[in-house]
Amino acid sequence: MTPSPSAPVFGADEQDAVTVDVLRFVRLAQLVLREERAPTEAEVSVIFVNEEAIADLNRRFLDEAGPTDVLAFPLDDDAPPSGRQPDEGGRGPGAPPDGTDIPVILGDVVVCPAVAERNAAEHGRAVDDELALLVVHGVLHLLDYDHAEPEQADRMQRRERELLDRFAASEHEPGEPGEDVGR
């Protein structure tokens, strides 16, 4: 089975505290965008940074002190909603691609592997599993998921689990995860 086209995802590792398989997390972000039926012209960046960089972003943009594990920065206020929810955007399955669409920049997901490593130890899970959760969490925030209210948090956590399970399964399917990776 050929996967549907993936939105362009840029990945960068700007830290050296924890070894990160950037291409794996680019594939994960692409899977989230595909599963959420985000426009294929939507662009996302997943950037891994050190504690100093994320602490600076946390202070400047959220007025919070210290490093955090993940921040999501939606960039395009006019981004169409994903087609996952009924009656919310997307061209729908089987619709012909529209080659005239201009790129939509959904935003940036910034992850701090050093904080993720500490969180992983506290939760008794592998660092890669914690990083995967943070990437999914950040991309879902770009797609208007939130967790401010209990029902929103339940919905977001349920979707995170579904997407992580789907990604784990896709890593064992031949040929699927490596397509459209080098963006």
- What pLDDT digit, counting tens, does each position of 70-91 carry? 999 998 555 445 544 444 445 5
- Separation in Å, CA 45 to CA 49, 132, 175: 12, 15, 23
148: number of Cβ within 10 Å:
7
pLDDT per residue of the chain (183 residues) written in tens, 0 to 9: 445 566 799 999 999 999 999 999 999 999 999 999 998 888 999 999 999 999 999 999 999 999 999 999 998 555 445 544 444 445 555 555 555 556 678 999 999 999 999 999 999 999 999 999 999 999 999 999 999 999 999 999 999 999 999 999 998 776 544 444 333
9-75+105-170 CATH pick, 3.40.140.10, 3.20.20.70, 2.60.40.10, 3.40.390.30:
3.40.390.30
In this prediction the pTM is 0.80
Residue 112 in contact with residue 70, Cβ under 8 Å? Answer: yes
Q: How wide is the angle at C-alpha 55 spanned by C-alphas 128 and 17, nearest 5°?
A: 40
Q: Alpha helix locations (H) across 36-112?
A: 51-62
